[in-house]
Amino acid sequence: MFSQGNKSSPHWFNLVRMLWASPQSDSFEELAMPLFDQLYNFAHWLTQNREEAEDLVQETYIKALKGFSSFQPGTNFRAWMYRILRNTFLTSRTGLRATSTVPLDTEADGPELAVEHDSPETILMRLTDSKALQSAIDGLPVHYREILLLCEVEEMSYQEIAESLSIPIGTVMSRLSRARKTLRDVLRLQFQKG
């Protein structure tokens, strides 16, 4: 259901690295390259477009390498990179367009879905459910989608999310709660219609 990342080697990274070659860039590479697939996946979920995600990750790495001297050793490098990616996204045309919509919270509560055992029918239903879930996540406003993905897909702690998004932990918890409720409501409506 979730993207496996951009498996192509980031050839542009070598070019960027040559432009800012220094002893510091070696330690940047050691810290940054293991995060490449995670950052790409997050960028892809934000932009909902492969090419824009690649551009976003490339711009993130360029900005991070340029600003690496401002990174405080001993702090969370992963959160720092996610913050750069998110801020870059929010200032892009795609990010500005995506964040301009505001959701209306619905208060409809319906019956919970029953759990079934594996059979050909339930396997097919689960695949359909996966597509419905992915579609519902894609439809969430960016500020809900990013919180949900960082928590559930990237398995970041509330503290890491707060650092990545430069928001208080209380805001992380309330947005996550609202994102889950919105997602639950959207899926409930889809299953009632379907």
Q: Note the pTM of the prediction, 2 decimals.
A: 0.61
pLDDT at position 120: 59
Q: pLDDT band for position 99 (50/70/90)?
A: low
Q: Identify whether the C-beta of residue 6 lies closer than 8 Å to the C-beta of residue 37.
A: yes
Q: Which CATH architecture has domain 11-98?
A: Orthogonal Bundle (1.10)
38-47, 105-114, 140-149: segment of lowest average pLDDT: 105-114
Q: pLDDT band for position 45 (50/70/90)?
A: confident
Residue 142 has pLDDT above 80, yes or no: yes
Q: What residue spans define the domains of the chain?
A: 11-98, 120-193
In this structure, which topology does domain 120-193 adopt according to CATH?
Answer: Arc Repressor Mutant, subunit A (1.10.10)
pLDDT at position 194: 63
Helical segments of the chain, H only: 11-19, 23-32, 36-47, 50-66, 77-91, 93-98, 120-139, 142-148, 158-165, 169-193
